[in-house]
Structure 1
């Protein structure tokens, strides 16, 4: 009896060690996958504050929380199962689906750019703070943010999936769940901090003295400008990420010329002493953004023409 109990305890210890090793492996793989998706994570962080801009202080964190919940729902309930099933049974569909998402991002970025340049149909609404436009505007902004997040989250999850494609199905699933939770917490934790920095500055200015109070007043003064800049960065990020998805996608589908051209341009400046790496990144980013602008502009033109035709038909 004692021997049987000892054997059972040994077996439990072995299983515990295996489970611990598996957890370590999942954590390490999730870390590698998250690093690979870091570029899109930065874009996601830059895009989101633009959807919170204009809300009163008491609604900022609730809006961020609603978008974060929507983002997690996107990743865990829709993107993760779909990505796993597609990778298991029809992996060739992942690239075309991502390219559709990239086209949508390019369209949204180009439309915002067009509205900013031409004073389009969104201008009247943007003159009022979002809070002054009522709950319908808040719902519209949250829905728009979650829709944009869906595309960026899909890109993040597919990049992570590609990094762990050789893992067994269960390990892949666990790794992607960890990536989804960690990246959502990181992105929306940073977004919450960004949008509340002015309130933190105000508290410091009111409750502290000397240099700390001055720093608080500086935060209060600077944050509206920072949020405005982030709003612009968010538009650029949509064009950049959308264009990059399309460049990589057409290369994977067999049309190599555009991607190879960008690669050659990156290599041409990579050897510049001291700043070669930065210049290479800048060239690649500019090329992706240019592709995003061109594709997005075509889609905007088509969509606007369709709207005009429908409007004429209705009248």
Structure 2
């Protein structure tokens, strides 16, 4: 009997350790995932464009196929690569982060430049088509294009998360990075599914609601979704520039050039001097984010010619597809 009680005590102790480990993994995963806010928001803002033109019944299956591809990107390809870098070449993580940050700056600046120079033409989605002659073929092309785009964004997300994970054991880092990948994928594509079906829900409420308030709410949802999408695009673009700029500034500091980081910090502190102690931290953070965003925008504008004239054609030539899908 005493042996059984001792065994139960050991099992309870192991369970407590396991529960504490799970708590640590989830806590680190949440903190690490929050660092990748810009790429996450951009991922959620980009994906709905791949669903344009399809029947409502195909929207959720397409979202599921892209989400499954995203999980494969993160867990099968990027997770082992990230762990190998952390174990054998940690010095490569800051330059890779800066490369990803430059990509975010380029994407954000390119979206702003396109918005300012666009003449209102409708490009019909990622493949440039306006009509769907072969829905099955186009669905395959759209899903492949979305998964390729997701790979780039997922690489940025996983690299940022890896850099944010405190030094620990191999298995703790692996579990934390896997948790980040799963949580972010669920958050992104759950949000995408909700966004793309929200107008259908509004239409159903507007046409079939029993109460007047239900029908009014449905009409409000239908009318408001285009503005929600525009807001999401604006927020995603701002987040990309802010996160991309901050990654570049922090990376330069890690490589030994502290001047940009120190200048932004000193300016943010100076801006926050004129407010009360309750708002000082928020104002300093906002000023830092704004300056990081401006730096990201300037860097992105400089990178647009390189991205559109050199990298996109090379990508299209190597991986196939037209210039638009390569971009």
What TM-score results when the alignment is normalised by the length of structure 2?
Answer: 0.78
CA distance in 1, matches of 2:64, 2:198: 16
Q: Does residue 1:49 correspond to 2:53, yes or no?
A: no
Within the alignment, does 1:246 sit opposite 2:245 as a pair?
A: no
The answer on whether the counterparts of 1:50 and 1:230 sit within 8 Å (CA) in structure 2 is: no
The aligned counterpart of 1:108 is 107
Q: Name the CA distance, whole Å, in 2 between partners of 1:119 and 1:158.
A: 33
Q: Cα–Cα, structure 1 residues 37 and 78, in superposed 2: closer, same or farther, change >3 Å?
A: same
Q: Distance in 1 between matches of 2:187 and 2:287?
A: 28
- Following superposition of structure 1 onto structure 2, how do residues 122-133 of structure 1 map, counting pairs within 5 Å? 123=121, 125-126=123-124, 132=131
The CA deviation string for residues 252-300 of structure 1, in whole angstroms up to 9 with x for no partner, is 1111111111212222233423544443333222222222222222221
TM-score (ref. length: structure 1): 0.81
| Contact residue 241 and residue 297 of structure 2 kept, 8 A | yes
Q: Residue 324 of structure 2 corresponds to which residue in structure 1?
A: none
* Alpha-carbon distance between aligned partners in 2 of 1:142 and 1:291, rounded to the nearest angstrom: 34
Q: 1:17 to 1:158 in 2, by over 3 A?
A: farther
| Equivalent position to 2:297, from 293, 296, 300 | 293
> Kindly tell me: are residues 171 and 83 of structure 1, through their superposed partners in 2, closer, same or farther at Cα, counting changes over 3 Å?
same
Closer, same or farther: CA 13–151 of 1 in aligned 2, 3 Å: farther
Q: Secondary structure of 2:36's match?
A: helix
- Separation in structure 2 between the aligned mates of residue 250 and residue 142 of structure 1, nearest angstrom: 36
Cα deviations across residues 70-94 of structure 1 (Å, max 9, x unaligned)? Answer: 3212221222111111111111111
1:269 and 2:265 aligned: no
2:80 maps to which residue? 81
Distance change >3 Å, CA 70–CA 246, structure 1 → 2: farther
Task: Please state whether the residue corresponding to 1:125 is helix, strand or coil.
Answer: coil
Aligned residue runs from structure 1 range 294-309, under 5 A:
294-304=298-308, 306=310
Unaligned residue ranges in structure 1 (runs of 5+): 311-315
After the TM superposition, which residues 231-242 of structure 1 pair with which residues of structure 2 at under 5 Å, given as runs? Answer: 231-242=233-244
Contact 1:30-1:175 within 8 A present in 2 as well:
yes
Question: Kindly tell me: are residues 35 and 77 of structure 1, through their superposed partners in 2, closer, same or farther at Cα, counting changes over 3 Å?
Answer: same
With 96-105 and 264-273 compared, the bigger mean Cα shift is at: 264-273
Q: Cα gap change, 1:49/1:166 in structure 2, threshold over 3 Å: closer, same or farther?
A: closer
1:27 alignment counterpart: 23
Please give the per-residue CA displacement for 1:86-141, whole angstroms capped at 9, x wherever unaligned: 11111111111111122222222222322222238x95524899773565765565
Deviation of the 1:143 alpha carbon: 4.8
Specify whether residues 247 and 267 from structure 1 end up closer, same or farther in structure 2 by C-alpha distance, changes over 3 A only: same
Shift, 1:242, TM fit: 2.0
Measured after TM superposition, the shift of residue 305 of structure 1 is 5.1
What is the distance in 1 between the residues matched to 2:53 and 2:233? 14
Query: Against the structure 1 CA distance between its residues 264 and 149, is the aligned structure 2 distance closer, same or farther, given a 3 Å change threshold?
Result: farther
Once superposed, what is the RMSD of the aligned Cα atoms? 3.4
Partner of 2:257: 255
1:167 and 2:168 matched = yes
Q: 1:25 to 1:276 in 2, by over 3 A?
A: same
Cα distance in structure 1, aligned partners of 2:38 and 2:106: 20
Structure 2 residue aligned with 1:313: none
C-alpha separation in 2, matches of 1:92 and 1:280:
30
Q: What's the offset of the Cα at 1:302?
A: 3.0
Aligned pairs, number: 305
Q: Decide whether the 8 Å contact of 2:242 with 2:296 is kept in 1.
A: yes
Instruction: Give the SS at the match of 2:167.
Output: coil
Tell whether the 8 Å contact from 1:266 to 1:283 is kept in structure 2 after alignment.
yes
